[in-house]
Structure 1
Amino acid sequence: MSEYMEKHSVARLVGAPPGYVGYEEGGQLTEAVRRRPFTVLLLDEVEKAAPEVMNVLLQLLDEGRLTDGQGRTVDFRNTLVIMTSNLAAETFAREMPEEERKKAVDQALRSFFRPEFLNRLDEVIVFHALTPKEIGSIVRFQLRQVEDRLKERRISLRLTAPAEKLLVRVGFDPEYGARPLKRTLQRLVVDPLTEKILAGAIPEGSEVVLGAEGD
């Protein structure tokens, strides 16, 4: 929701009022749900939205409908609304019992959001901190995407266990989770592979084995 940090961004959600530019286009939110009422609405990092945008969301959750800039009522009763938040993310940077973590998250939510907003949420789910095993699964998933691109040149890719452990260790940050992992793969895997392919060091039909130093 970082795109909706300004109060005028409400018009982007529900549409500009009559006489304003973009009036005929409708709102990004209301128009999408009007056309597809049976949908899933994902609001990422909802805490970044402007207070005016939060008021719109409050009405949506309370009444199950919104009025767009053209005066049409858009029904949200068949829309599943999922919101994510990074509030209390710092608690994941250190070890603590899950019950204690949930209490810290609950306190952060109550300190930031208005009670009437929280009262309209059906459930708050606190995700567990990622484990090395789960990070390893993400590494393998992202490497499969690299493998798919290499198949165009008939190049296969294999990762050794020590190399996977290295990527997990370097690409995981306790505070930011797996976010740095994509940059790590780009720096340690994709960029070196690209350079060698362009230099002709890895011809078509090759098998590339990714290992770690000392492997």
Structure 2
Amino acid sequence: QSLAVGRDHQFIEPVHVMAVLLDQEGGTVRPLLAQADVNIHLLRSQLNEALDRLPQVTGTGGDVQISSALSRLLNLTDKLAQQRKDAYISSELFVLAALEDKSELGALLHKAGATKTLVERGIDALRGGQKVEDQNAEDQRQALERYTIDLTERAEQGKLDPVIGRDDEIRRTIQVLQRRTKNNPVLVGEAGVGKTAIVEGLAQ
């Protein structure tokens, strides 16, 4: 709504919602689209162009309404949620609904490389077989990404410094991980003794 008001638009369109979801910190849409091999930079650029093309109406006093296109899309999202036995509609199903709907937003998603098959796979991977039974489900799902650091990813990108002199500890950690039982290594020690270095070495 604030995006539509800020641009002097009379109606909230699907492109408004997608633009906000794409930039939502900790949201599920950006990780979903990245997993589905969508060109997010291109999509964002196309969304901005679509927003620029919408007619501007001054003097509305912030009184905006949901467009018929958005209303139709939300109804389709609700149907998809019911099919999946979800208690609430979720932003990832909004993306899927947009791909099924023959609207401008669906066309923009397709141009950026989105396909229904890849997005459905991404949703299944994101949810891990869980239903949306809580209105805060998306926040909980992104907690791992928000509050932890993926050291394996950093190692793959060459962002970690070489670890020297920790071969024994790293080897011992690997031995514990390889056990069939009691295979959770715990690194205990004062701050600064090199616990993170061992994990970084393991990641590398």
TM over 0.5: no
Q: Which has the higher helix share?
A: 2
Q: Which of the five TM-score ranges fits, normalised by the shorter chain? A: under 0.3
Higher relative CO (Cα under 8 Å, sequence separation at least 6) belongs to 2
**Alignment TM-score, normalising by the size of structure 2:** 0.24
Normalising by structure 1, what TM-score? 0.23
Kindly indicate which of the two structures has a greater share of residues assigned to strand: 1
